[in-house]
Structure 1
């Protein structure tokens, strides 16, 4: 059995429409990136980690606390994947 990453990349680009994508219990859909956003499913418990809280703070500064629709995090997707992987 492989290691769990704590996230899954969703198929389909930066489309905000998540109605066709099933979100498993315990996961949150997230759009990550600045221009070409990628969609991820992140385990809820990952958001308790300080580095993830910092990313959420960055998103709040960029988009405000009342984002409509899917949560957006404005950071490099490779960096995001490293952060999520590091907070096992």
Structure 2
């Protein structure tokens, strides 16, 4: 009798539905970060776009000052499951470098 050897990434003890899909995990993290930013009084009225790719949160948009930018990054880091945060928020009136 020959038993097949599983690939290293396969776990025969887990059913297919047990592991979260990467896309659904990214959507869940994006929703949690958006909720945190909308609740906090510092970031709630700012123009912030949230994108999550492979558990990396990308914050983009325009904010009022450096304090708001820092708080937004800190709030994103505080969400459980976030692997990294790319804080690409810019200040109103700030020009892009050439």
> Fold conserved (TM > 0.5)?
no
The structure, 1 or 2, with the larger RCO (C-alpha pairs under 8 Å, 6+ apart) is: 1
Instruction: State the TM-score, normalizing by the size of structure 2.
Output: 0.25
Point out the structure with max Rg over C-alpha: 2
**TM-score, normalised on structure 1?**
0.27
